[in-house]
Structure 1
Amino acid sequence: MVGLWEKIKKNTDIRRTLVLIIICLILYLIRSIISLILLTFILTYLIIRIVEGLHRFVKLPKKLIAVIVYVAIIVIFYFSITVYVPKLFNQTLQMIEEVFNFYQKTTPDNRFYDWISANVGFKEIKDQLTTGVKVVFTTLTSIGSMGVTLVMSLLLSFFFIIEKDWVTQFAKAFYHSKIGLFSQDVGYLGKKFVNTFGVVIEAQVIIAIVNTILTSIGLIFMRFPQGQLLSLGLMIFVLSLIPVAGVIISCIPLSLIAYTVGGVQDVIYVLIMIIFIHALESYFLNPKLMSSKTDLPVFYVFVILMFSEKFFGVWGLVIGIPVFVFLLDLLDVKVDHKKGSNKLEQIE
C-alpha cells in the first residue's frame, strides 16, 4: 500500500487527477452554496481585470481604485433597485400585454391566427409569464436568498482584492506544510482554472455587452417602442451570456415583437441584424478575445449546454462552456480549426 502511494505521488498526472476528483466531491457536498462560490469568483475576476485596466491609465494605488470601483457598483445597484427595476418591471408587463393583445386580435381573412387562437391558450400563457415576471422582480427587490448571495459575493470579492497579496502569501504557506504536495496541485489546478474559465467568462461578458449595445441601436433605428427597450436590452444581455444558443433563443421574442411593430418586413430586418451581429461575434470578437480557446463545433456547444444545464441548472448555461474549456486545457487538448476542418489533437 505504501509502495502504491509512493508511485501515485511520483506520477503527476494521476496525482492531479485524484486532487481534481477530491475538489469536485467537495464542491458537490457544498452544492447548496455553489451560487455564492461561482458569483464570488466571477465578480472577483472581473473586478480585478477592471482595476488593472484602470491602473494602466490612472496612476493611483490599486486598492484605492478597487474601493472607487466598489463604491460605483454599490451606487449603480442602489439606483437600479430603486429607479430602474420598477421601470423595467412595468415595461416588461406592458410589453407582454401588448404582444398578447396583438396576437389575440383576429381578422376575417386570417385563418392562421384563428387556428392559433383556437389551439393555444394565450390567456394561460400570459398569466404564467406575468406571474413569473412578478416573482423574479419581487426576488430582485427583496432581501431574499439571491440578495444575500449577491451581497456576500461582493463582500468576499472586496476583501479578497483589498488583501490580495496577503491572501496569496497565506495560501502559498501551505506549499511547505504537511499537505504541501496536495496544496501545490490545488494551486496548479486553480491557476489553470483562472487562465481558462476566467478568460472565457470575461469574453462572454464583453460579447454580451457589445451584442446588447449593437442590438439596442438596431432596435432604435427600427423604431421599436421606447418603453420596451429597457426590457429587451436586459433580455438580450442575459441571453448573450449563453454561447450560440442565446442568439438563437433571442430571435423568437424579437421576431414576435417585430411583427407587432412593422409586420414581416421588420421580422426580416431583425433576423438580418442578428445574423450580422452573430457574424461579428464569431469572426471578430471571439478570435480577438478568446483566440482558439472556444473554437468548438456548434454540435458540441449544444451538447455541453444540455448536460451543464442538467447538472448546474440555470448556471450551467453560463458556465458550461468555460468549464469544458478548462477541462480541455487541463487535458492539453488543442482545438485545431485550420483549412476549414475541426480536429482535436493531443499536444505532445
Structure 2
Amino acid sequence: MEALRTFFAQSIVKRVLFLMLVLLLLYSLRHMLNLLLLLFLVTFVMGRLEGFVTKKISRIFPISPTVVNVILYLLLISSLIFGIFNYAPKIVNQVVDMINNINRFLNSSKNDETLQMLTNALDKIDYQKYLGSAVDYIMKLGKWLEIILFVILLSFFYLLQKNKVDQFTEKFRKSKIGWVYSEFNYFGRKFTSSFGKVIEVQLLIAVFNTVLTIIGLWIMGFPYLFALTIMVFLFSLIPVAGVIISFIPIGIIAYQIGSLSLVVWTIVMILVIHGIETYFLNPKLYAHKTKLPMFYTFIILIFSQHYMGIWGLIIGIPIFMFLLDVLEVEQSE
C-alpha cells in the first residue's frame, strides 16, 4: 500500500493522470466543443485586445481596464447586430448562389477538357459533400448565433471579474484536490502561451490575407465578394492547405468570368500575397516559435481533420505546438 502511495505521489504520475482525466472530460463534453473552443478564442482575443488598448491609452491618460472592456464589448455587440441585419442576408444568399453556380458550371462543361479534368479531380475528394456541408452550416446560422451570443456574454463576465475569478480559483490550491489545481495551473499557462498565441498569429495572418485578397478580387471584377470574404478568412485560418483549398472556387469563378487569362492573374495575385506573408509577416509574428516543415504541417492537418473535423484544420497546429511546449521541445529557431 505504501509503495502504491509513493508511486502516485510522483509528479510525473500525477501529470499523466491529470492529462488522462482532461482527455476523458473532453470526450464526455465532445458535443460542447464548439462552445468551449469559441469561448477560449473570444476570451483570449478580447483579453489581449483589452490589454493592448489599455496600455496605449494609459500613455495619454489613466483608464481602467474595466472601462476598456465594457467599450470593446459594446463595439463588438453593436458590430455583430449591425452586420446581422445589414449583411447576413446578403452573405447567405451569395454563398448559396455561388455554390449552386459552381455546381451548375462544372456539370454543364462536359466539352471542356480542362474543366472535365478538374471535375474528375474534385469528384475524387467528394467535393459535393463538402459543399453540402458548407450550405448546412450557413442554414444553421441561427443556432451558431445563439452560441456566439452566449460565448460573448460568458467571456465578458470573465474578463470583467478576472481578478476575483483568479482569487477564488486560487483557494483550490490548499484544498484536498490541490494537486489537481497545480496541474491545471501548469497546463493552463502552457496552453495559453503556446496554443493561444499561435491562434492569435493565425487570426492576424487570416485578416491580412483576407483584406489583400478581397481588394485584388474587387479590382479584377469578381462577383460574390461578401461570400468570398467569409470563405477566404475561414480558409486562411488553415495553415498552408487553406491557400490551396480557397483557390479552387476562386479559380473556377475566374475561369467563368474571364477564361484562363484571369485565372493566371489570380494565381499571380495569390502568390504575391503569400510571398508577402511568408517573407515579411511570418518572420515578425513567428519570431520565437518553430516554423514547422510542410510535411509535418500536412500530416498534422490530415490527422486532426480526421479526428476533429473542420475544427481540427484550424486548431490542429496550435495543439501540436502546445504539445511541443509541454514536452519541452526546443522551439526557438
Corresponding residue of 1:321: 317
8 Å Cα contact 1:96-1:126 kept in structure 2:
no
Question: Given the alignment of the two structures, is residue 3 of structure 1 paired with residue 6 of structure 2, yes or no?
Answer: no
1:304 Cα deviation from its structure 2 partner:
1.0
In structure 1, how many angstroms separate the alpha carbons of the residues matched to 2:242 and 2:92?
22
Q: Provide structure 1 residue ranges, at least 5 long, that are not aligned to the other structure.
A: 338-348
Give the CA RMSD over aligned residues. Answer: 2.9
8 Å Cα contact 1:193-1:326 kept in structure 2:
yes
Structure 1 pair 106–178 and aligned structure 2 pair: CA distance change class (3 A): closer
In structure 2, how many angstroms separate the alpha carbons of the residues matched to 1:130 and 1:202?
28
Corresponding residue of 2:71: 68
In structure 1, how many angstroms separate the alpha carbons of the residues matched to 2:27 and 2:167?
28
Corresponding residue of 2:167: 169
Corresponding residue of 1:306: 302
In structure 1, how many angstroms separate the alpha carbons of the residues matched to 2:247 and 2:329?
33
Structure 1 pair 280–21 and aligned structure 2 pair: CA distance change class (3 A): farther
- Greater mean alpha carbon deviation, residues 238-247 or residues 12-21: 12-21
In structure 1, how many angstroms separate the alpha carbons of the residues matched to 2:309 and 2:80?
25
Q: Provide structure 2 residue ranges, at least 5 long, that are not aligned to the other structure.
A: none
8 Å Cα contact 2:50-2:68 kept in structure 1:
yes
Which one-letter code corresponds to 1:138 in the other structure? M
8 Å Cα contact 1:51-1:69 kept in structure 2:
yes
1:224 Cα deviation from its structure 2 partner:
1.9
8 Å Cα contact 1:93-1:130 kept in structure 2:
no
Structure 1 pair 71–218 and aligned structure 2 pair: CA distance change class (3 A): same
Corresponding residue of 1:31: 30
Show CA shifts across 1:128-164 (max 9, x none): 8886565433321x2x3x3332222112111110010
1:112 Cα deviation from its structure 2 partner:
2.1
What percentage of aligned pairs have identical amino acids? Answer: 39
In structure 2, how many angstroms separate the alpha carbons of the residues matched to 1:74 and 1:153?
12
Which one-letter code corresponds to 1:288 in the other structure? K
Which one-letter code corresponds to 2:204 in the other structure? I
For residue 266 of structure 1, the aligned residue among 245, 262, 266 is 262
8 Å Cα contact 1:89-1:133 kept in structure 2:
no
8 Å Cα contact 1:103-1:113 kept in structure 2:
no
Structure 1 pair 300–292 and aligned structure 2 pair: CA distance change class (3 A): farther
Corresponding residue of 1:343: none
Which one-letter code corresponds to 1:204 in the other structure? Q
Q: Report which structure shows greater RCO (CA 8 Å, sep ≥6).
A: 2
SS of 2:238's partner is: coil
Structure 1 pair 191–259 and aligned structure 2 pair: CA distance change class (3 A): same
In structure 2, how many angstroms separate the alpha carbons of the residues matched to 1:284 and 1:118?
36
In structure 2, how many angstroms separate the alpha carbons of the residues matched to 1:167 and 1:118?
54
In structure 1, how many angstroms separate the alpha carbons of the residues matched to 2:119 and 2:310?
33
1:200 Cα deviation from its structure 2 partner:
0.6
8 Å Cα contact 1:55-1:62 kept in structure 2:
yes
Q: What is the TM-score of this pair, normalised by structure 2?
A: 0.88
1:105 Cα deviation from its structure 2 partner:
6.1
SS of 2:140's partner is: helix
**Number of positions where the alignment pairs a residue of Structure 1 with one of Structure 2:** 327
